[in-house]
């Protein structure tokens, strides 16, 4: 079992590395699908850096882009509050300064970008419940929290003004399933971890009833479902082929190639390559330009040398490529009579009179032999 867990973790790491650079992850529907993770910032997905000194950023256009600086780290990580706001003045940018909420496992109820105090540490981190509310005013103090009895258990409500009990730990995190159901006035919920990478879709709806390991029914991003979860077993997942990905899913299906000119993956198409009549190398990142070229000029061929559509030998010009429908006439023109050119010639000057030159050289050589 331990070997299986290690293998799954390695596969998850491998697939993620095929999708986005380090410290970035795929965000479906965004202008740039790969963006710096929460808690990081960068001018591009390949330059993501960790926010300094427990400061924090929110993934998206506010932490990834050409104009992004360290001031994108304008919030604080869980367990910390904003004691000094981030500086956005050009040339003097600085991240927010964050102060710990202490050893009470409390955290602010909202991730603010404005200045806070210790009394803003008024709720509990995941896996804890509120036992003493935060104090405001001259005797300001953070809330006090107690660990839930079961690992993976969380409270349905992040209380801020009313103490809770262990029985308020009545939900399981998405990576867990309910192995002992919660009952009002009875024992607290018990949660058991799903196999690495798998999640429980029912967690999103707040399920508290008894479940089985079959509730671990969702594959992570970068994996596709090979067998749905059913009684006695969790969902089965396989990593996406290189240059493809899949969103989290619990339904049978296949990954999608990044390149729009690659065929749909299926049980018979298991790798990403250019589709019929297209040539080149497929895109290697989400939303990247297609690397597949449609060479449909009647007097051109795809060149393995430069990866482009090129006019055939003894012609010159710039061929039509990637046209929706084949052109009725070629933009590769024949060299003049008795002239030749190598494939890929773009200018008429590239045509030479080798057809005439060769017979002359041959005649001259014959005369020399006769002498």
> SS3 sequence, the chain?
CHHHHHHHHHHHHHHHHHHCCCCEEECCCCCCCEEECCCEEECCHHHCEECCCCEECCCCCCCECCCCCHHHCCEECCCEEEEECCECCCCCCECCEEEECCCCCEECCCCCCCCCCHHHCCEECCCEEEEECCECHHHCECCEEEECCCCCEECCCCCCCCCCCHHHCCEECCCEEEEECCCCCCCCCEEEECCCCCECHHHHHCCCCCCCHHHCCEECCCEEEEECCECCECCEEEECCCCEECCCECCECCCEECCCCCCCCCCCCCCCCCCCCEEECCCCCCCCCCCEEECCCCCEEECCCCCCEEECCCEEECCCCCCCCCCCCCCEEECCCCCECCCCCCCHHHCECHHHHHHHHHHHHHHHHHC
- The verdict on residue 79 lying in a domain is yes
Number of structural domains (the chain) is 1
Dihedral Cα 100, 105, 109, 114, nearest 10 deg: 0
Structure tokens at 178: 């309910």
pLDDT band at 7 (very low <50, low <70, confident <90, very high): very low
49 found inside a domain:
yes
- Say yes or no to pLDDT of 113 above 80: yes
* 56 domain-assigned: yes
Section 103-125 average pLDDT? 96
- Cα–chain center distance at 179: 32
In percent, how much of the chain has pLDDT > 70?
88
pLDDT at residue 357 greater than cutoff 70: no
pLDDT for 76: 98
pLDDT category at 54 given cuts 50, 70, 90 is: very high
Residue range 149-176, pLDDT digits in tens: 999 999 988 899 999 999 899 899 999 9
Indicate the pLDDT class of residue 331, thresholds 50, 70 and 90.
very high
pTM: 0.70
pLDDT of residue 315: 94
Does some domain include residue 130? no
Domain-located, residue 159: no
Q: Is residue 288 part of a domain?
A: no
Please answer whether residues 81 and 101 qualify as being in contact, where contact means their C-beta atoms are separated by less than 8 angstroms.
yes
Specify the pLDDT at position 21: 84
Q: Rounded to an integer, what distance in angstroms lies between the CA atom of residue 103 and that of residue 145? A: 9
For the segment 266-304, what is each residue's pLDDT rounded down to a tens digit?
999 999 999 987 888 899 988 788 888 888 888 988 887
State the chain's mean pLDDT as an integer. Answer: 87
- Give the pLDDT score at 369: 41
pLDDT band at 207 (very low <50, low <70, confident <90, very high): confident
Confidence of residue 144 (pLDDT cuts 50, 70, 90): very high
pLDDT of residue 280: 85
* pLDDT for 32: 56
Region 26-40 average pLDDT:
79
pLDDT above 60 (res 11): no
Which structural domain, as residue segments, surrounds residue 49? Answer: 1-100
pLDDT of residue 185: 65
Which one, of 98, 107, 101, lies nearest residue 154 by Cα? 107
């Amino acid at each position: 079992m331990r070997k299986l867990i290690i293998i799954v973790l390695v596969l998850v790491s491998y697939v993620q590395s095929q999708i986005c650079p380090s410290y970035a992850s795929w965000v479906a529907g965004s202008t740039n699908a790969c963006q710096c993770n929460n808690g990081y910032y960068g001018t591009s997905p390949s330059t993501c850096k960790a926010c300094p000194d427990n400061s924090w950023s929110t993934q998206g256009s506010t932490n990834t882009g050409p104009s992004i600086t360290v001031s994108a780290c304008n919030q604080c990580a869980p367990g910390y509050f904003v004691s000094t706001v981030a500086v956005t003045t050009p040339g003097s940018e600085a991240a927010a300064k964050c102060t710990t909420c202490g050893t009470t496992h409390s955290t602010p109820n909202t991730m603010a970008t404005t200045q806070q105090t210790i009394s803003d540490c008024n709720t509990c981190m995941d896996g804890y419940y509120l036992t003493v509310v935060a104090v405001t005013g001259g005797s300001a103090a953070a809330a006090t929290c107690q660990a839930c009895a079961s690992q993976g258990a969380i409270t349905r409500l992040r209380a801020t003004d009313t103490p809770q009990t262990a029985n308020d730990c009545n939900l399981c995190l998405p990576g867990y399933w309910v192995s002992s159901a919660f009952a009002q006035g009875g024992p607290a919920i018990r949660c058991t971890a799903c196999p690495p990478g798998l999640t429980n879709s029912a967690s999103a709806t707040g399920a508290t009833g008894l479940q089985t390991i079959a509730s671990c029914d969702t594959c992570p991003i970068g994996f596709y479902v090979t067998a749905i979860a059913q009684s006695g077993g969790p969902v089965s997942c396989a990593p996406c082929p290189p240059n493809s990905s899949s969103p989290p899913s619990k339904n049978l299906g296949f990954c999608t190639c990044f390149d729009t000119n690659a065929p749909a993956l299926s049980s018979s198409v298991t790798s990403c390559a250019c589709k019929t009549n297209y040539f080149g190398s497929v895109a290697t990142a989400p939303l990247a330009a297609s690397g597949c070229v449609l060479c449909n000029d009647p007097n051109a061929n795809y060149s393995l040398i430069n990866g482009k559509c090129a006019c055939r030998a003894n012609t010159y010009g710039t061929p039509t490529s990637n046209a929706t429908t084949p052109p009725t006439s070629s933009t590769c023109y024949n060299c003049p009579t008795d002239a030749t050119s190598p494939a890929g010639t773009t200018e008429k000057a590239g045509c030479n009179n080798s057809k005439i030159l060769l017979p002359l050289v041959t005649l001259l050589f014959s005369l020399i032999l006769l002498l």
